[in-house]
Structure 1
């Protein structure tokens, strides 16, 4: 689960962390990917891997559609539009009961491991999720290091200056929304594989808020921030659940406040500063060890050396 949430957070990081656009609707893109896979597996006799590109392509096109209002809206206005999508989708899924299963949801089979692998079902699911996550995170990393990533950073810092430099604002803003939605859909597809069940209640507005909170806690515009944020949103509620049934919400909220107060750049920024401090101290110790030890002054002799004897002068002879 951490890996699939890391994919969703990495896609959201592409839009929010690097593009500077706020989205509260990525839980809905996650749901679209999950339901795409579930409906295909429920209605057609196909393999699980075939659902992945369909879910990715569908969410990419949906993201393109939402990228259009992103050209005219920004800040809180864009956040409200995406929030409306996240609120609107669960009732819509309940409406089309014949396709989506309504409030009861859909139950699908999990991918079974091939006989030659000798793996159990959970192990096979783990390796499948790990492989997809590795490819997705590698694509996102390369994307951020390309012209697209540099253009998004320029747009985030100053749109007017970026436009003067020749960056096409409409193209890159729409593309960022599409890519971000696509990776959320991929994560949703993996969710269907892992859980084997989808229902509208699983994709409420809380999911969108959790994804955004996890990204902020992990660290915006950071390579490792999505991984840390995914671990945070998965493990903290589970550990708190063991304490009390009412503890997850309280502990989750308090930890978010503490992290934002102590580490405004997120856990990734905190880890980076800690690593920099450790490296600086190690380098200081190395320089101290390399410094030559001072040579102690020579001790004075116990007795003074004998005084030099005067040179003997030859006798002079007088003539006459």
Structure 2
């Protein structure tokens, strides 16, 4: 997957930090609800980034990252609800817990490859929501009722609304994690991860400890997705087992494929895509049925399916890959 231009990345980042400041000029466009929606896109982008580190850069297929997302969310929720821990302090705790869970799951997964590993992670995604409902854990997890939390308060007396602060909080976390992932992938360890993805036997022959790298990558990937889950618990101020069903893992995988497998920028594009489609499906369904007069009742998964098929034909390398190829063709025409 081609690298994303750094200059364009800096421009987009600067624009992202300026968005909430435009609220006085465009109160309807930059509303609190829209800022909250963009915050959920950022959280989804972090989760897809974690999956991309495992699948896109290390070649291990996972259909169970919704489980790590749930573990991160419940870790943060339990710490905030039972121990009164500040919301920002729950992020490293969620990362550590999810790294341990991912690492331990990665150890037996070393014996699995391809679709067998996918099935094992699929089983994990099915099991975790049921475990969270278990009666012996109800005192901690709240059972089927879940845990109600308080939304993050604006610190230091900053002149920001709760939605504006949440946006900046999520954006800063994503920038730090994106920078950490980019530096890791450009290091010796990152090259070893990608060597295992490209040619497992050759990497093993060259002296790379493939078992260690695969399990550690599993742990790091789970930690990233767990941080996203912890952010989600703070943003939505509520966690419940049914919020982390198997379809959440599938949405992460859809976001990864649509954004671009093996591309950090593709993870961001994929997170934006899946949240945008998920939240626009109902409006699109009403438009098709009422405005166009067609007898269709579109669900989010119908929209996902149609767009996914269309994008696979039009942009087989994902959104970022398609934009990159279009840009190269445009430059070629100008030349």
Instruction: Give TM class, smaller chain.
Output: 0.7 to 0.9
- Tell me the number of residue pairs that the alignment of Structure 1 and Structure 2 aligns: 283
For structure 2, the 5+ residue unaligned runs are 1-39, 287-296
Tell me the equivalent position of 1:121: 162
Tell me the equivalent position of 1:37: 76
Tell me the equivalent position of 2:108: 69
Q: Distance in 2 between matches of 1:148 and 1:264?
A: 28
1:110 Cα shift? 1.2
Tell me the equivalent position of 2:7: none
Q: Distance in 2 between matches of 1:240 and 1:63?
A: 33
TM-score (norm 1): 0.86
Q: Distance in 1 between matches of 2:145 and 2:126?
A: 19
Tell me the equivalent position of 1:189: 230
SS of equivalent residue, structure 1 residue 118: coil
Of residues 245, 249, 254, the one that matches 2:306 is 254
Question: Following superposition, which runs of at least 4 residues in structure 1 exceed 6 angstroms of deviation?
Answer: none
| Contact preservation (8 Å) 1:69, 1:78 | no
Of residues 140, 148, 156, the one that matches 2:189 is 148
Of residues 239, 244, 255, the one that matches 1:203 is 244
TM-score (norm 2): 0.82
| Contact preservation (8 Å) 1:86, 1:208 | yes
1:170-199 Cα offsets, whole Å, 9 max, x none, are 111011101000000000000011000000
Of residues 77, 80, 88, the one that matches 2:119 is 80
Q: Which moved more, 1:168-177 or 1:234-243?
A: 234-243
SS of equivalent residue, structure 1 residue 220: coil
Tell me the equivalent position of 2:53: 14
1:173 aligns with 2:225: no
Of residues 316, 324, 335, the one that matches 1:264 is 316
Of residues 131, 135, 145, the one that matches 1:92 is 131
| Contact preservation (8 Å) 1:70, 1:173 | no
Q: Distance in 2 between matches of 1:274 and 1:37?
A: 42
| Contact preservation (8 Å) 1:215, 1:226 | yes
Q: Which moved more, 1:33-42 or 1:114-123?
A: 114-123
1:12 Cα shift? 0.7
Tell me the equivalent position of 1:49: 88
1:158 Cα shift? 1.2
**How large is the Cα RMSD of the aligned pairs?**
1.1
1:139-170 Cα offsets, whole Å, 9 max, x none, are 11111111122111111111111111111101
Of residues 256, 276, 297, the one that matches 1:235 is 276
Tell me the equivalent position of 1:111: 152
1:66 Cα shift? 1.2
SS of equivalent residue, structure 1 residue 72: coil
Q: Distance in 2 between matches of 1:116 and 1:89?
A: 39
1:251 Cα shift? 1.2
| Contact preservation (8 Å) 2:178, 2:264 | no
Q: Distance in 1 between matches of 2:281 and 2:238?
A: 24
Q: Distance in 2 between matches of 1:62 and 1:237?
A: 29
Q: Which moved more, 1:27-36 or 1:253-262?
A: 253-262
